Amino acid sequence: MELIDGNQIAATLVAELKAQVAAIPGRRPCLALVRVGEDAASVSYVKKKEKTAAEIGIESRIILPPVTIPQAELEKLIDDLNADPAVDGILVQSPLPKPLNEQAVFSRIAPQKDVDGFHTVNIGKIAQEDSTGFVACTPAGIMELLARSGTDLAGKHVVVLGRSLIVGKPVGLLALQKKAGANATVTFCHSGTRDLPSITRLADVLIAAIGRAEFVTGDMIKPDAVVIDVGINRVSDPSKKSGYKLVGDVHFDSVAPLATKITPVPGGVGPMTVCMLMKNTVKAWTLGRSSTA
């Protein structure tokens, strides 16, 4: 069994992006990070994004509207960023405080600056196998982990557990694309699936994104499968100072001995997401340049 080391792969990717950005003549890629209010987790996520951007040489523009900002004003702010030629990518940190309408704000972002990949057009482009769009950071990170750990999906049976719009559906549609590294047979299963273990045991590659702590156990795995664990769940652990520990959707101890490769939690998929945001920002810069050239 081999651990897929997300931290190491992310570090490699950051180094590659840094070299790529260093070679850019003139204006560097710029990512606008919009954080509304002072939610502690959001503060920490945005800080991490800013730090990684700085490391790569991507300019970040931090915008911190007050928690009281009206919907219309927030949308106007997005419109201004859409129109600003010096901004390549726009990220609005989720979740937005109530009563703001998050989906309306995400949909306001111009598709060509939607580096989070949540716009309807960018979802549609994944289905259309149109590579000019942006793939959401978690599914993009999973594909990168698979490719860089030497897992060619061609002809494999990929089983995706979970059908969310930000993970399950896009990653399954990516695995299904008729292109190098993909071209898999893909099964989507979920809470409504009957006899789930009989389906997950078909998986050459199992992607668990169901949001239930240690849900996937050894009896649900085909021997020699590759297992990607997208879950991040807190479970209580009195032995820890914090009183909890983080576990994935996969019961690591029973699954790992059967797998050829597996991602740990933490340190698997998690570290990839911020990198993929940066990769999308550099892509936005590149696309913007070619469209105005």
Q: Which two tokens stand for residue 79?
A: 């419109």
Select from 25, 85, 192, 238 the one that contacts a copy of itself (CB under 8 A).
Answer: 192
Q: Give the residue with the Cβ less far from a copy of itself, 126 or 256.
A: 126
Task: List binders of a copy of itself among 3-42 (CB under 8 A).
Answer: none
Q: Does 163 bind a copy of itself (CB under 8 A)?
A: yes
Q: Which listed range, 16-24, 28-36, 127-135, 205-213, lies at the site for a copy of itself (CB under 8 A)?
A: 127-135
Q: Is 291 in the site for a copy of itself (CB under 8 A)?
A: no
CB of 279 to a copy of itself, least distance (A): 21
Q: Is 71 a catalytic residue?
A: no
- 49 catalytic per annotation: yes
The residue among 49 and 169 lying less far from a copy of itself, judged by its C-beta, is 169
| CB count in 10 Å sphere of residue 72 | 8
Residue 148 binds a copy of itself, judged by CB under 8 A: no
Question: How big is the CA angle at 56 (ends 283 and 173), to the nearest 5 degrees?
Answer: 40
**Which of 125, 251, 279, 283: binder of a copy of itself (CB under 8 A)?**
125
Active site (annotated) includes residue 112: no
Query: Which x/- pattern, by CB under 8 A, does the window 199-218 give for a copy of itself?
Result: x-------------------
Other C-beta atoms lying within 10 Å of the C-beta of residue 48: 13
Q: What is the DSSP string of 258-272?
A: G-SEE--SSSSSHHH
φ/ψ of 170, rounded to 5, equals -65, -40
CB nearer to a copy of itself: pick between 184 and 277: 184
**What is the token pair recorded at 288?**
């913007």
d(CA 138, CA 116): 9
Candidates 43-51, 89-97, 128-136, 233-241; binding stretch for a copy of itself (CB under 8 A): 128-136
| Kind and range of the H or E run holding 22 | helix 6-22
Distance between CA atoms of 140 and 177, rounded to whole angstroms? 13
262 interacts with a copy of itself by CB under 8 A: no
Catalytic residue chosen out of the listed positions 116, 204, 229, 249: 116
Q: At 123, phi and psi to the nearest 5?
A: -65, -45
Q: Any contact of residue 152 with a copy of itself (CB under 8 A)?
A: no
Closest by Cα among 94, 98, 152 to 273:
94
CA 292 to chain CA centroid, nearest Å? 28
What's the closest the beta carbon of residue 156 comes to a copy of itself, in angstroms?
A: 8
Amino acid at 126: I
Report residue 243 as tokens: 């009183």
Give contact residues for a copy of itself (rule: CB under 8 A): 119-130, 154-157, 163, 165, 169-170, 173, 176, 178, 183-190, 192-194, 199
- Residues serving a catalytic function are 49, 93, 116
